[in-house]
C-alpha cells in the first residue's frame, strides 16, 4: 500500500512539474483584432510575386492602441517588408485590449485577397 501511495505522489509531482515547465501561451488574437488587421492589409494589394507566401507575425499592442511588430517569420523578405509597412504602428481598436500582450497571427497571401 505504501508503494502505491509513493508512486501516486511521484506521478503527481511529475505532472505538476511538466505543467510548470511549459511557458505561458500567447493569447490568440480576438476576432475583432483579426478583422481589423485584415482590413489594414487589404487596403493596398500585394504584388503578384507574393501570392502563395505565408508569414507568422508576432506583435504587441501598445498603450496608444498601435500594433508594434516584434518578429515576422517568413521565407520572403518582400512579404516581411510589406507586412511591416502596412501594420507597424497602425492604430487598432478592440474590446479585449491588454497592453503588452503578445499576439501571433498567421498571414497567407492568396491571389486577389490575403
pLDDT in the model for residue 69: 95
- pLDDT for the residue numbered 14: 66
pLDDT along the chain (114 residues), means of 10: 70 63 58 84 77 91 91 92 92 78 88 60
The CATH number of 25-108 is 3.30.1150
CA distance 8 to 33: 45
Backbone angles phi, psi at 98, to 5 degrees: -135, 115
pLDDT for res 19: 60
What digits encode the pLDDT tens for the residues 70-97?
999 999 899 999 899 999 999 988 777 7
Residues 6+ positions from 31 with CB-CB distance below 8 Å: none
Dist. CA 40–CA 59, nearest whole Å: 15
- Domains of the chain, residue spans: 25-108
Amino acid at each position: 500500500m505504501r508503494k502505491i501511495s509513493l508512486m501516486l505522489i511521484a506521478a503527481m509531482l511529475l505532472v505538476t512539474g511538466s505543467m510548470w515547465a511549459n511557458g505561458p501561451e500567447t493569447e490568440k488574437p480576438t476576432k475583432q483584432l483579426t478583422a481589423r488587421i485584415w482590413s489594414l492589409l487589404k487596403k493596398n494589394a500585394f504584388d503578384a510575386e507574393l501570392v502563395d507566401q505565408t508569414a507568422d507575425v508576432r506583435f504587441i499592442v501598445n498603450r496608444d492602441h498601435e500594433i508594434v511588430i516584434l518578429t515576422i517569420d517568413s521565407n520572403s523578405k518582400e512579404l516581411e517588408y510589406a507586412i511591416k509597412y502596412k501594420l507597424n504602428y497602425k492604430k487598432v481598436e478592440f474590446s479585449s485590449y491588454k497592453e503588452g500582450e503578445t499576439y501571433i497571427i498567421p498571414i497567407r497571401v492568396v491571389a486577389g485577397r490575403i
